[in-house]
Structure 1
Amino acid sequence: MTPSARLAALVELFDQWQGAREPAEIIVTAYFRNRRYAGSKDRRWISNLFYKSLRNMGQIVDFIEKNNPVTTSEKRAVAALLKLEDISVEDLKGIYLEGPHAITFDDGDLDALAAGELPFDPELNFQSWISEKLKTQYQDHFPKVAAAYQEGAPTTFRVNRLKANREQVLAALKEEGFDARATEISPDGIILSGRANLNAHPLMRDGHIEPQDEAAQISAILTDVKPGQSVMDYCAGGGGKTLALGALMENEGRLLALDVDGRRMQDIEPRAARAGLGIVKMDRVQGLPETPSEQDLFDCVYVDAPCSGSGTWRRQPDQKWRLTEERFKDLINIQKSILEKAHKFVKPGGKLVYATCSILEEENQKQISAFLKTQSDFKVATIKGAEMGLPASACNGGMLTLTPDAIGADGFFTAILQKN
């Protein structure tokens, strides 16, 4: 594809994203599926700038509106080239706005955009109601948190302890030319530079690695589950935490994966087989007894609750523009309901682990505070993050709150509640 065709494709993606409900990832995948002529370098250039623009879209729109009240997909794309990629006006005119596939762009609009300054204000890259929540919660720390969301998230994998060790996997990847390094906190994590795709790689195919952010790996490790124990993954979804917990259990014990929608768990069985994990059983939440008997109780109940996903907005930047206040309130009610049900399955002396990929306190600390007011037989088990090398600032009130600026991983919250 020519540079002008790439720019035109970026405009088309902005158009499709504006009028769609689907996640950006689905839109991008469908777009290139219907355009097989786009080479790998073309797809990488277009998608990278598309996601970078979504992460910085608040600043881009503010910048455009200060120069021209009408914001279009064409202006978004041109502003991204000028201000995010630092392309000169001369190159933009001579390379990106020339040729048979070039978009039509007014010279006056181009000169106005070129003359303006992109505001360095990460606060603009959130909806105003979200910015207000984050500013109130993080106060002086907010600028660093907001700035972290301007960059993309790392590509991270978890090494499956049942089949491999990290040193072996790192050596194999480096021998193939991958720029790979170990995560600093998780003993099982590997980070690859760039947007490396290992979906068809033998390490993935044979179950030696699984994609999983370091923050999620840390959350699983903090459960301190042991071989032979009984563990429930209450909101299993696709099974990423289920597999991590099973590896920590060394494939010994009882591991039950649950979800309200059985379709969400359809990948767990093949993923578990690939990982060599034979102790996983699956059921729907609706299949649980209303009043658990002793045999229905677990040493650990792990709840990765549905949430805003605010901790993952670097890799899913479109979602921060899709979230509504009404949906946010619904999620808080869902989280409360899940805690009210899941805690019943914790045996005396066992633990309830509540986690979200969110950095908003309404979904995290406030949920725990409200739960403890009604459940006096639970108490917070203090997370000693320093023992893992976690920053002290991330372990407030005995609970772990990771923001993307802390260790470079996703934002993630974990609270461990011990039952008396």
Structure 2
Amino acid sequence: MELIHRNLLIGIHDSLQETFFEKNKYADKVIERLLKAHRKWGSQDRAVVSEIFYNIIRWKKRLEYYIGEGAKPGNIYKLILAYLLWSKTHYKKFEEFDGIKIADILTKLKKGTVPNKAFEHSIPEWLAATLEKELGANWEREMIALNEQAPTILRANSLKTSAKHLIEELKHENVESFTINGFKDAVQLEEKKNVFLTSAFKDGLFEVQDAGSQKIAEFLDVKPGMRVVDACAGAGGKTLHLAAMMENKGQIIAMDIHGWKLTELKRRAKRAGAHNIETREITDTKVIKRLHEKADRLLIDAPCSGLGVLKRNPDSKWKIDQDFIDRIKKEQQQILQDYSKIIRKGGKLVYATCSILPSENNEQVAEFLKNNPDFKLVKDEKVMPSSGFDGFYMALIERI
């Protein structure tokens, strides 16, 4: 294999250092800035940089074992070297690479064993224990899936097109894709491409959204003309899906505690041609109280650990801890308790997370139902990473 160009290595090195050692720096934004700063890199170079960057984040703990020490600012090149040797890609004559001796790394690589499951799956020790406790014997199967590269999946915007027609439009722009059985609007790319440069994207024909995530809006059972509240809307991926399902009829109130996310939602809604969305920033409790018993449907896409989407955000496993999960579970219960009052009698809500932990999912719903006898569970569903998609949980609850 050819040796990766030095300027690409420097870019990977600097981006890894920023991701690992600077607060509030997340991998997706870091790599986006790197690629924007080097627009002259060809598509193949950009793909190589992204692949190596994400895989080193994904396999950080295992690579640290190979280099014999933890990740420190001065060890980033060693992590890169260990990954390239381990994956047998883009290397040649590494004996001469920045004076780094590779004998010890090669010895461990040839041995092929690691001390325990946390090293094997490259996750913190606490997370291995938590996954085993909550998922039982299946935890390793799910962790193997979470260490795979995520596919790129689009949601065809049914306000403007269909999955079939979107595939044809993308093909005209040299992007090959296919439909996914059981997902009406989902389109999966044959290989990773920068679809944001396509005319199809600029014309609002699709949004990038995992198939598992697409299930959530469908689970809410919305109909044109309803009043729907998306209480944790963020930048609006599911809000836009709801608007399409409602055929732009009725009203969607998209809410979030971050105004800048709602600004992004409005920009996306304009491109998508979604006209029935109103945004409201949650600045105090009065914003919620004004909506008590006013909605036919409510989506609570609750803040969570994000353990179901580690394929896409592998750096998050290094940024959270058990204390964070314990805090977020209390927040989930409070949100469910407070926001559920928005639903009128006979209305329905969906509680959803992108976590695979029962303690964030069905156990939270069970606790809520125990304390709120005027609500009942209609159905719930989980999408596990071993399905090939991101991990999600969703529960449909009716106010009686």
Fold shared per TM-score above 0.5 = yes
**Pairs within 5 Å for 1:148-297:** 148-286=145-283, 288=286, 291-292=289-290, 297=294
| 1:13 aligns to 2:10 (yes or no) | no
Q: Is the 8 A contact 2:16 2:57 kept in 1?
A: no
Match of residue 332 from structure 2: 335
Q: Which amino acid aligns with 1:3?
A: I
Distance between the aligned counterparts of 2:217 and 2:369, measured in 1?
A: 22
Structure 1 residues 112 and 293 mapped into 2: Cα distance closer, same or farther (>3 Å)?
closer
Task: List per-residue Cα deviations over 1:2-56 (Å, max 9, x = no partner).
Answer: 6251344433333333311200122223334444554332222122011112222
Distance between the aligned counterparts of 1:290 and 1:164, measured in 2?
A: 35
Q: Which amino acid aligns with 1:228?
A: G
Report deviation, 1:177. Answer: 3.0
Match of residue 393 from structure 1: none
| 1:400 aligns to 2:358 (yes or no) | no
Report deviation, 1:337. Answer: 1.5
Task: List per-residue Cα deviations over 1:77-110 (Å, max 9, x = no partner).
Answer: 1111111x224xxx8443x565xxx533125345
Distance between the aligned counterparts of 2:127 and 2:32, measured in 1?
A: 28
Distance between the aligned counterparts of 1:153 and 1:252, measured in 2?
A: 34
Q: Which amino acid aligns with 2:229?
A: M
Q: Is the 8 A contact 1:8 1:103 kept in 2?
A: no
Q: 1:363 aligns with which of 360, 363, 366?
A: 360
Q: 1:417 aligns with which of 385, 397, 400?
A: 397
Structure 1 residues 107 and 148 mapped into 2: Cα distance closer, same or farther (>3 Å)?
closer
Distance between the aligned counterparts of 1:166 and 1:317, measured in 2?
A: 29
SS in 2 for 1:238: coil
| 1:3 aligns to 2:7 (yes or no) | no
Work out the number of aligned pairs and report it.
Answer: 392
SS in 2 for 1:103: coil
Report deviation, 1:413. Answer: 0.7
Match of residue 77 from structure 1: 80
Q: 2:88 aligns with which of 64, 68, 86?
A: 86
Report deviation, 1:174. Answer: 2.7
Q: 1:143 aligns with which of 136, 140, 145?
A: 140
Distance between the aligned counterparts of 2:243 and 2:373, measured in 1?
A: 30
Distance between the aligned counterparts of 1:293 and 1:35, measured in 2?
A: 48
Q: Which amino acid aligns with 1:272?
A: A
Match of residue 116 from structure 1: 111
Q: Is the 8 A contact 1:63 1:117 kept in 2?
A: no
Task: List per-residue Cα deviations over 1:139-195 (Å, max 9, x = no partner).
Answer: 222221011012111111111111111111112223433220112221001011332
Report deviation, 1:114. Answer: 4.8
SS in 2 for 1:112: helix
Task: List per-residue Cα deviations over 1:366-403 (Å, max 9, x = no partner).
Answer: 21111111111111102xxxxxxxxxxxxxxxx21111
Q: Which moved more, 1:53-62 or 1:107-116?
A: 107-116
Q: Is the 8 A contact 1:180 1:190 kept in 2?
A: yes
Q: Is the 8 A contact 2:63 2:83 kept in 1?
A: yes
Q: Which moved more, 1:195-204 or 1:279-288?
A: 279-288
Identity %: 30
| 1:375 aligns to 2:372 (yes or no) | yes
Distance between the aligned counterparts of 1:229 and 1:368, measured in 2?
A: 24
Task: List per-residue Cα deviations over 1:178-225 (Å, max 9, x = no partner).
Answer: 220112221001011332111131111111111111111111111110
Distance between the aligned counterparts of 2:291 and 2:360, measured in 1?
A: 30
Report deviation, 1:289. Answer: 5.1
Distance between the aligned counterparts of 1:336 and 1:127, measured in 2?
A: 26
Q: 2:127 aligns with which of 126, 130, 135?
A: 130
Report deviation, 1:314. Answer: 0.6
Q: Is the 8 A contact 1:63 1:118 kept in 2?
A: no
Structure 1 residues 206 and 115 mapped into 2: Cα distance closer, same or farther (>3 Å)?
same
Task: List per-residue Cα deviations over 1:346-382 (Å, max 9, x = no partner).
Answer: 0111111101111112211121111111111111102
Structure 1 residues 117 and 413 mapped into 2: Cα distance closer, same or farther (>3 Å)?
same
Match of residue 48 from structure 1: 51
Match of residue 387 from structure 1: none
Q: Which amino acid aligns with 1:116?
A: K
Task: List per-residue Cα deviations over 1:223-258 (Å, max 9, x = no partner).
Answer: 110011110000011011110011111111111001
Q: Is the 8 A contact 1:52 1:151 kept in 2?
A: no
Match of residue 100 from structure 2: 105
CA-atom RMSD in angstroms: 2.4
Structure 1 residues 111 and 58 mapped into 2: Cα distance closer, same or farther (>3 Å)?
closer
Structure 1 residues 57 and 372 mapped into 2: Cα distance closer, same or farther (>3 Å)?
same
Task: List per-residue Cα deviations over 1:310-361 (Å, max 9, x = no partner).
Answer: 1111111001111122222221122112111111010111111101111112
SS in 1 for 2:196: coil
Match of residue 26 from structure 1: 29
Question: Which ranges of structure 1 fall in alignment gaps of 5 or more residues?
Answer: 383-398
Q: Which amino acid aligns with 2:12?
A: L
Structure 1 residues 171 and 262 mapped into 2: Cα distance closer, same or farther (>3 Å)?
same
Q: Is the 8 A contact 2:121 2:147 kept in 1?
A: no
Distance between the aligned counterparts of 2:33 and 2:169, measured in 1?
A: 33
**Pairs within 5 Å for 1:302-317:** 302-317=299-314
**TM-score with structure 2 length normalisation?**
0.90
Structure 1 residues 104 and 14 mapped into 2: Cα distance closer, same or farther (>3 Å)?
farther
Q: Is the 8 A contact 2:251 2:277 kept in 1?
A: yes
Match of residue 354 from structure 1: 351
